[in-house]
Amino acid sequence: MKFTLPIFDVKNLCFSIGDQEILSHISLEIFGAEYIAIIGPNGGGKTTLIRVLLGLEKPTRGEAKIFGKSIKDFKEWHKIGYVPQRATHVDANFPGSVEDVVNMGRTSQRKLFSRMSKEDKACVKDAMHKMDVYDLKDKMIGTLSGGQRQRVMIARALASKPEILILDEPNTGVDMTSQKKFYALLKQLNKEEKITIVFITHDIGVIADDIARLFTINQKAIICNNPKEALSCEEMSALYGIEAHLLHNHKHEH
Ligand SMILES: Nc1ncnc2c1ncn2[C@@H]1O[C@H](COP(=O)(O)OP(=O)(O)OP(=O)(O)O)[C@@H](O)[C@H]1O
């Protein structure tokens, strides 16, 4: 797997706002079909890193390539599904059904104001089935539970048939049972559809068995190729506090 071109290739990347250095000399690669979790303390720079990788922020130094291309030359954004933080916080009166929201996931492939093609409709249906929200398709999005909305937002990202899915803490306000279902669906997408998953989370203990690698971001990056072993070390505990304790507990449970 490591001999293929990485989806993301980041070298010596730095990002500052004014005098504040948010990301410092980050180098990492993300390969096809990997399942990666990103952890780190609040304000550590996880979201900023993703925003730089998606071309939403310009690095101060260093470079990031997507599918072998520099970000500024990359055009195939439909290959990347992104669910930002707080995407599930929808106004209760938002005037759209589940199907309307998932349809939005096809807009990057359609001409402005064009009708949905047969292919668009098939991709939307497939995405709703994969996230188990097809039965909810006519319900208004604002009336759904947090867990249902979470799955709809992933379905919207899946509608563009992405090769990589980037999720930024999509669990806020979602109960434990819904989270378990969600994690099982993500695992399935990764194992069966070979979709690369990059998951920013504070629930590392729950998905530790599913992930292949772990990136810890606290201004700098530490890449753990063997997440469970790496996370049990004292150094990690000192650096990342609560996340390291969570995994520590996880280790004792098994
Ligand atoms: N637009 C901005 N203007 C000023 N500071 C910013 C901006 N965006 C991010 N920051 C700062 O950059 C740092 C990293 O923020 P970021 O959101 O990337 O962290 P995070 O690891 O995703 O945090 P959390 O776990 O709380 O979501 C923080 O100190 C934040 O205040």
**CB-ligand 1 contact for 221 (6 Å cutoff):** no
Atom of ligand 1 nearest to the CA of 202: 25
pLDDT digits over 22-78, tens only? 999 999 999 999 999 998 888 999 999 999 999 999 999 999 999 999 998 999 999
Checking ipTM against 0.90, whether it exceeds it is yes
Q: 132-166: per-residue pLDDT in tens?
A: 999 999 999 999 988 899 899 999 999 999 999 99
Distance 102 CA to ligand 1 centre (A): 28
Please tell me the CATH superfamily of domain 8-253, with its number: P-loop containing nucleotide triphosphate hydrolases (3.40.50.300)
Residue type, 41: P
| CA neighbor of 87 nearest in space, from 203, 170, 201 | 170
**In which band, very low, low, confident or very high, does the pLDDT at 248 lie, cut at 50, 70 and 90?**
very low
CA 112 to chain centre: 27
Cα pseudo-dihedral 125, 130, 131, 132, rounded to 10: 80
Whether 105 lines ligand 1, by a CB cut-off of 6 Å, is no
Cα–ligand 1 centroid distance for 46 (angstroms): 8
pLDDT band, very low/low/confident/very high, at 88 (cuts 50, 70, 90): low
* Cα dist from 180 to 6, 104, 157, 221, whole Å: 30, 26, 20, 28
Q: How far apart are the C-alpha atoms of 9 and 67, rounded to whole Å?
A: 8
